[in-house]
């Protein structure tokens, strides 16, 4: 069957919109995508990917490096 994707996000202001857009991109390619709407901690997201037996998990977050990087 088709690969299943789970998308989670941190609490940054732009993360909700970016994670929804990412899910729409997968859906446009006919890839089943589930989106966790609320903020979720990265370790909990990792657990959810494994527990839900998803093939891939994408966690939307930001770097802690400055814009020079």
Tens of pLDDT, residue by residue over 25-61, are 999 999 999 999 999 999 999 999 999 999 999 999 9
Of 55, 66, 63, nearest to 26 (Cα)?
A: 55
Q: How many CB atoms lie within 10 A of CB 19?
A: 21
pTM above 0.95, yes or no: no
pLDDT at residue number 62? 79
pLDDT at residue number 67? 67
- What one-character DSSP code corresponds to residue 52? T
Compute the average pLDDT of residues 20-25: 96
Sheet with 33-35, strands from edge to edge, namely 33-35, 5-9, 56-60
Separation in Å, CA 42 to CA 11, 17, 19, 37, 48: 11, 18, 14, 14, 10
């Amino acid at each position: 069957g088709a690969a299943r994707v789970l998308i989670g996000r941190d609490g940054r202001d732009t993360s909700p919109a970016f994670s929804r857009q990412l899910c729409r991109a997968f859906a446009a390619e006919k890839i089943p995508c589930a989106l966790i709407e609320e903020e979720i901690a990265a370790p909990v997201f990792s657990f959810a990917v494994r527990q839900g037996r998803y093939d891939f998990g994408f966690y939307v977050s930001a770097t802690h490096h400055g814009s020079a990087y």
